[in-house]
Structure 1
Amino acid sequence: LVRGAWGDRIVELVQSIGVERIYKVTKAVCATDFIEPWKYYDTFATRDTEGYSLGVPIYPWFANIGHAVSRRDVLAGKDRVRVKSCWGGMVAFDGSFFQSPTSSQAGATKGASSGKEVQLPLKFRSEKEPFWDSSECCLIHADIMTASPISTFTYPEHEDQPDKWDTGIYMNPFVRVSYSAGTQKWIWLAKHFEALFSIPQAIINRLARMPRFNPRRAEVEGQVIQDKLWISLKSGKSEEEQ
């Protein structure tokens, strides 16, 4: 695998963060994948630090909404763009979440944010409800955040206080993969000019009303919500059976 088409990118994904960060701070780190040299692909699973989906998928990919932490990280040229979930063609996870606990550890870890007990090892799962955030790509990151406290990593300019936006899940814009040799060949050229896209992307986001509204974004566990359920009269099934 390391000698394959993405071999160099896999090694770079790990080495660019650093061994110490991978094992002591980072819970997951994603590459960035492109369907065209200038067009980001993974709009399905990528969510910014506040759970917003992407804007128009050209640089800097994220929309200028809320605190826009992820967008500002990209524009600042960071190799650790703080996000809530991502995939980007490749992901490196902290393996401890997928291993059975040792005899000295409890079988379940209580999440710091929700108080919910999460059984280790974690497994990829999905939900039956038809919304994007119910895919295994998003849920695995949610389970990891539930199973562990928010990272206490501090940036040099704010050494006296933890970063409340740092979930321990990052996207690395410097590790780029694609789905064709032709796209990969020209990514280097697109990178030289992509900074010019930031202002047009912000304007198009406003005109296109992106990111799209996601009623699930701000929901919390245990919250009572109202939802619409479409039932075909011809199906002969009850609401519970749908």
Structure 2
Amino acid sequence: MPAAPFTANPPLRFRGIPDSLATSHLEGSECCLIHADNPLSIQDGVYMNPLVRVGYNGPAYVAVNPITNWLSARSILQGLWINRLRRWTTTTWLKDQVIQYRMNRWTSLSPENREPGDFCIINEMQVLDPQGWGHL
């Protein structure tokens, strides 16, 4: 991907959702939101290399990047079928409706309330506690 959006004035930056939206028990990943803000995502798409594994700290990085292959062929095949069955038998309609309702309510509060990365929003709240991040 060209670096132009990251070197523009103002440059493209990682961000979170506004605090006023987060109080509605919603969360958005900065890794998703940067693609929502990138004008090149629409014309060029977004590509991800699933073989690149990252961790937020040393132990997490070691856990996902072991010296030997961390997944057996059996666990890969099992995971593929479990995910396929879940996609076939579940729906996100109700979850999406809850998020859309909260987004609409927030948008109606002020004309400045606008979130272009609405597809990045999930029904979850993350808080910082003494043990690290907590999910509510």
Structure whose residues are more often strand by fraction: 1
TM class, shorter-length: 0.3 to 0.5
Larger Rg: 1
TM (norm. structure 1) is 0.30
Select the structure with the greater relative contact order (CA < 8 A; seq sep ≥ 6). 2
Structure whose residues are more often helix by fraction: 2
